[in-house]
Structure 1
Amino acid sequence: MENVRDNLLNAYERGFIDRNTNKTSHYPPELIINNPEENVLSPMLDALESCESFMISVAFITEGGLASLKTSLYELNKRGVRGQIITSTYLNFNKPKVFKELLKIPNIDVKITDKNGFHGKGYIFDNSKYSTMFIGSSNLTDTALKKNYEYNLKLTSLDNGEVIRNFKGQFNELWDEAVVLTEDWIRNYESIYNELNHDDKVLQLLEARSPYRYDDSNVKEVKPNLMQVEALESLKHLRATGADKGLIISATGTGKTFLSAFDVKQFKPQRVLFIAHREQILAKSMEDYRGLLGGPIEDYGIYSGSRKNREAKYLFATIQTLSKEAHLKAFDAKHFDYIIIDEAHRSGANSYFSILNYFEPEFLLGMTATPERTDDADIFGLFDYNIAYEIRLQKALEAEILSPFHYFGVTDYEYNGEVISDDSPFESLVLDERIEHISEKLGYYSHAGDKVRGLMFVSNRKEASVIENSLNKLGYKTKSLTGMHSQEERQNAVKDLEGNRLDYLITVDIFNEGVDIPSVNQVVMLRQTESSIIFVQQLGRGLRKHEGKEFLTVIDFIGNYKNNYLIPVALTGDKSFNKDKMRKDMIGRNMISGVSTINFEKVAKEKIYKAISVAKVDSIANLKKIYYYVKNKLGHIPSLVDLSQDADAINPLVILNKFNHYVEFLEKIKEPTEILTTTQHKILTFLSKEIVDGKRITEVKLIQNLLKEPVNKGDFQRRMREDGYHMNDQTLNSILRMLTLDFYTEQNQKKYGIPLINIENNIISLSDEFRDSLEGVKYASQVQDILEVAEINSYEYDQKYPLTLNEKYGRKDVCRLLNWDNDETSTMYGYKQKHGTLPIFITYHKSDEIEASISYEDKFLDTHILQWFTRSNRTKESPEIKNILMAHKEHDLPIYIFVKRDDDEGKGFYYLGNAKIDEESVEQTKMNGTEKKHNVVKMNLMMTHPLEQNLYRFFEEGHVEV
């Protein structure tokens, strides 16, 4: 407790008296606002999840704000942690529904104050050592926690602090006077609320904000949204270059149909053809076109089935009908000036080829939300590789084109002691107990508004039918739909859902695309994630905005599925397949933009971590599929830079970790490449293994300079300093030893073979072998490609310092970046004191197979203190320990802390900053779990930088059984 008190005193001195104090200060006071880099919700959830009790006093609560806390509250309930919430009926802002949602949460006690003008906003989270308090302007609403410009002060206090005691005293006074929230109270409030015509006022407000405007003739005028404005300008510019084809890639629900109608209005064609794969899409599209473009009804026609309105100015045709030769030849090749292909990712099929090869429009527009295909079809080539405009899920959410959503990754049912998996028998999927488990989650995580309109995706037709019957027995109104149902049956079911005659439509894959039900406010996923494309398609079914929907609830039942690693890929849109990036996305709280949130129950999150660890993302099949997608998109063999810069491409490091170099990968997939000499092969291997990650950019800068001319050592060193890079004599020596291969082990020297540089009279030049190898033009471009990618990768690191906080490094990286003369990875073990440094490597959760004598109990006591154990068979009198303690005390020995959660993460460790030894904590003790009880020395290391709460949670959660 004394350490906490001292750190708080230092923190408050820095926060309120002198920001330049050099005292160690943990738990600092912070002003928190909402912006792209931070928000109020994230630190609030950190405090909530680690607390032992909490008090919240807010005037206003919305369903979205409460949804942001539900998963954390669920986990607290499992730990037996309870809390209190005081709210109000001030201005009748709080909807009756939000009070109903509060009653569903078993571990909170809720009271309502009628205090006149109550407008307080305060949050206190207590734990055993201190309390964290948020005071400011944020109510418990999703916009206040993540979007609005708010001022909130985060303060940490001991229990005897005046401010915290005052807050708790005021809270308790309010609590004693307030009314307990009950179902009877809600019924009474609901009648008062409805009498005030509150819903009518909301609808009026929504209509005032609507992009739709009606003139006297009842023709709808639509104001373009951000995507449509930008895309229209891009299409105009594309045509100005002489292009007659273009592809629009735009997230589901962003308004592609209206965009095409806007562009038709802009292009002013005489005749238009709109092609889709389903007739109901045509009917809806024709309605949208007529509402925007106006004109007599005879200008619009359908060409499908029994309707063949051949002379219509705006013709809407199904691909199945029009692609038949008899129908195709009924039109002149130049009949249409403008053709639109809806769902253009389907256009690789032969039916589309026949149409595209026949017609000769002045402009051809393709539209798709998911251009990726499971085969290698070259969709982009059909549109001359002209991507006119692209907006994916993240940007669409930022622009508020789509409905915000709250995603809940929940744990699926446990059957015979095992959570549902890929191999679970069908019987386990439809057990009454699983249905009850599903029902419980549907009720807890709920939906926006008073009435659920849900889509439920399941694995197969049989499962859909059984779940329909089982849920109906529980009082739900559901209907299963499969490919066996007719279009008419599907349309009627959709109408029943929209008309509140059904709660859920249960389907397999037939609603993945081409279905428009804007009022859907809940999407339930009861099947494994087979692909990120399908995941996004199904998520997209609920992302269209609707005046009665504040947000979409997504409930994803996560079992022991091998493809769980695709969930962060789908939610973030990051298809780099970099496992560390996937983990970082899961660790962080800002995976998604805007007021949307991503929430995982603890066990469900662990299943995703496990799936990431075992996923074969670098399988030849996966690499080949992504490679050909990017190649088709670009229209040429992609370079490493192309892969690095394309949001849909795999991170080139994934390829280079599996292959010696990119040319070797191209050879493997049988792409035409030049034959490399042995020297060229070895140099490319060195660059691809040792340089390309960009962890220290100065090696790259030196090689780039040497490709032009030799350089003087002093001149190069000075330029690097002037450019702001970390550079001293030891660093320069380390760089030179690396490029001469002197740094490396004998095994690696043999592997790389060729030194890249010569040094003579302080002049650095390329080695003769390296320079001679560059005579091949293609080979030289490969070298440049690697160096450019290294530079791109270097932006991930703070190059002013040798190491970047919270980035990952292997032992060899650390030897190099701390300027050790040699790679001493093989003898480093858990730590090694050398060259005036002490790097410590910790695997937080040891394997069950590890020997007890080396199973150290290293552990973070909190985000500031690391309890660390030396090697076994060490005492306080051991020379090794005495040297460490003496060097720390007399020479301020730099201690570098590197931690990974478990061995599944590979060779990389997160660099968590430096640490100081708490000398009073140094203690000689015994190793637990060993027969001989080996001696070991234990001490507390005080972190210079407090451990990020996200990483702390990541390390601590690793013990969950999955």
Structure 2
Amino acid sequence: MERLGFQEIKTINYYDHRDDICSKVYHNEILDAIVILDFNITEIDSSGVFSYREYTNLQNQFMKKYKFLYRFCNENFNRENLCKILDKTLEIPLVPTKNIGRTGVDASYLEHHFETVFFELYGEASYDLLSKEEQLVGFNGENIFADYVVEKLNEKVVIEENGESYHHPQKTGLSKYIKQIERQNALVYQSYKVFRFSTNEIEFKDRMVEEMKIYLGNREEFIPQRLLVQERKYKLYEHQNLTLNQLQEMRKDGIKSTVIVLPTGTGKSTIAEEDIKLFLQEKPEAKVLILVPTLALKNQWIKNLITTFSKNSVGDSIGQQIYVSTYSRIINRKNEFNPEDFKYIVIDEAHHSVAPGMAKILKYFNADFLLGMTATQERLDKKKLESIFSTTEVNLTLKEAIEKEICCPIRIFRLESNIDLSEVRFNGKDYISGDLEKKIVIASRNELIADTIDKYFGKDVDGLSTKQGIVFCVNVAHASMMAKLLNERGISAAAVSGKDSDSQKNIEKYLNGEIRFLTSCQLISEGWDAPKTSVIVMARPTMSKVIYYQQLGRGTRRAENKEALYLIDVVDNYSFSSIPWTANSLFKNPLYSPFGDVLTGVRSWNGEMIYLEHLLEKEMDLQEVNIETFESIYGDYISSEELARELFLSTDTITAWIKKGEIVPDYSTKLGRVSYYKFKPERVEEIRVLKNLKKRDETTILDDFWEFIEEGSYSLSYKIIFILALIKNLEKDGEADFEKVKADYISYYRKRLEDGLPVDKKSCPYTAEYLNSDKEITRNIIVNPFEKFERKRFIYYGKDLKNIGFSFYLWQKIDSDFIKKLKNKMLEDLESYYKDLGGAGDTSIFR
């Protein structure tokens, strides 16, 4: 390692009672890189299994502190491969060569816990910060499905939730562990920080919140993926020729970049092709770069371009004049190009360009003109995109595109079910999948949807029996059920998902007209071209405007013999706090009639509507429907948990103030037994002033804790004994087994009784009988000494884990000298407290 410029800086032993070195840590100062080398880490002997939490925590600390962290087992360490990794000369395939499916829809137990913590920390409106089940590529072309990805201003972060049964080195065995760390190394190689959180960390919610904030940072550092943008002064109009004229005028005026924001189906690609042709007429030797997010889009662009330009000049070979590349390829091969190589650059799906990797690419190349194209205005952010494109106008909304007949009209049918979703939980981003599938994936609802499709678009419906469509479902199982029900009714259908290897074949059949309906669980939502799609069924309710908008966009393109998009919104029963998006909400139109126009609610009786007229069971005048959603009104509000965190208080303290009427939430609701409270963000400072709270944060926590200790206000001896018992049983991660702490706590008071000393002041209930009641003494410890520390967020109790420990913020600042000082202080206070009560007695249990 020394020959590679690495110096050993630490040895790690995960056992307290063995001398074995489990891992060595090496540091290269020039590269700011860490290499961890594990020795026999998967072996188990009589010492048992070491703490996986300590393993992940140590790695996370190194991952945070240094630019790169690579990990190897001594058994698979290869110096040549490490050199390639450090030199950035390893070739990662453009797309996965080993297509191992994963659905990315169902929330696991750990995911539910993680998302709960994430949205409590960053607010329920933070769904735009977290990308779930993102598909990446490993060293050998294998799929890597990252549990979560967060993009920050200066880095990309992967978050992995590690159940110990599947990830602990001693439980997985050597071969699986090697695959695990190779997967991690591939992500780090691609400039991701990888943070791992074990089951114990995720379940210990209070400490997890603090770890997450330390490792992930503040919300302000994140790059949102979905942002609402207001209309701006510059605007592209309805005709493509006018848009082309605008682009030429911009270049004449010295504007070097812009973004075309047009809804799906309005000819963005055609505009780009024609503008490239005009550009090359002026600069025939110039090279063009076209960047796209997926391999499918790359092939689609090449196929279209070779009909306009010569076949030899277009392709994915570096020497060709018009070079088409995926984002990932150009990011990994940036150094193969000179900044001046491309004079014209096109970025398809430009809303992704604010990601750190793409932003660096676009700033690297010094093009004469940079053209971004997107249909997803919700993800645009003015400042971030302007830093790349200089102009970021929303050129045409979907509503405007429909009014100008660029996109097809949308006709809505609200299919009302009697399913009660009022108590389906949501995590701030969307409904919790596990809850949703229990309510949604039921026979009666599925039959209702299938019968409705059959009634209006079935094989026997005149004029509409050839319409093709997509049914968006909850999960893979739901998609399979819906496909089965449609096929039973004589409507050809197939389920598609990341799990099914036949999905791509079924998509091709759909595009060729061999299949009428696809049932999907989020696989086809963005960057997919099927203009003949005439029916969209929203069978999966969603609280995410972005997801709803993208799914709707799969059917808005115009096509030959396509009069309109028929949108079936499945409307269930909800509480107000969990109302999903519908077309009426999206277009802010409260008026509805069956198959009425999405913009007006008015139903016409001409064209294809003639075929539907006799199928409608009764005439319905315009009726008013609710267009408000929880997200549209309360998306920016903060929860009581987030308020507590901002004030460095416990949630129980906030709840107590609310119940006493000392503070009033801006919104409250009750789902089942649980009450939810929300506050406007500006209330934080107001409440701080109202309650005369000192400004506290993670930087002051050690001083705050010691100040609290030095107060020495003891109505009874509980706090002293609690801290001494905690210190005695502390593990390396600042936690202790609650049962062990409790046992030592009880032992001290029992010994006083045995020695004939007063157990405490007369007000203390600790009789021999009381100390023998596990339930009573547990309740007493939690309510009395612990609560005093928990209220100030110094110490937390993981009830489900039976763990108790210091705040993660606090533990990061505590060293062995501080523990000694704290212990001595508590022993001194113990002597002082019992001075007139027969003395401190036998304290050997703590010494």
Q: TM-score range with shorter-chain normalisation? A: 0.3 to 0.5
Report the TM-score, using the length of structure 2 for normalisation: 0.41
Structure with more contact order per residue of length (Cα contacts < 8 Å, sep ≥ 6): 2
Report the TM-score, using the length of structure 1 for normalisation: 0.36
